Structure 1
Amino acid sequence: NRCITGRFINVVRIELGIIRKLMATSEIAMAELLSKEFMEQRVALLNSGLSAEAASGKFIGVQVYLHPVMNNAENYQNGEWHICIKWAAYRPNEHMVYHLSEDQGILGNFLEEIL
């Protein structure tokens, strides 16, 4: 269930799938101007698409937003903007832990029934 780095294989696969989709869709948008409307549309598009994948059970959930610090005047002047994608993946059932404890109440009920 794990790759050599210790991360779960399914989490790495989902992450790589998201990255491939981002790369494929980003190339088309490179010709656009960095207007407020364009940035909001891209964030909404990513949020919608990734939320649909989460709703289909591929992962737990996602939140897409503009980075509050990295989106500054200097970066904008270089044609650079930053989108944050927070997401969470399901983990495989690697460790199922059972806790056994003898219950004196159950024993007491048993003894009451037979005595």
Structure 2
Amino acid sequence: MPDPSLPYATHLDIKFPALATIDVAALAAACTDRWYNQTLCRVNDAVVRLGVMTGEYHWHRHVADDEFFFVLDGTFLVDLEDRTVDLRRWEGLVVPRGVLHRTRAPGRAVVLMVETAAIVPTGDADE
């Protein structure tokens, strides 16, 4: 469950069933939140989420789950303990389970994320 004290609009409901057309551009264009995360669909045991972001997320980790980020528009930074990965349009990155990280968008970024359906987007509670 998303943490209500954090300033993120996180929607874990599955917005589109199988065989429905997903217009990511229209969803991104309609977004007015600074940090928006919407589950688009489920694929086997994973979900695909749309992120529309400006600013920074908090440091966190997912003990049991990998995350994949794929940038559709803008610049998306993934801070790791020892470096920052600068992702641009059409670039992606897997953050392995257990790796402490923080994501940032210096300007508006549109990102697709693929992760297990069980993942808690804000990180594991035992952190």
**TM-score of the alignment, normalized to the shorter chain, above 0.5:** no
TM-score, normalising length from structure 2? 0.24
Higher helix fraction (1 or 2): 1
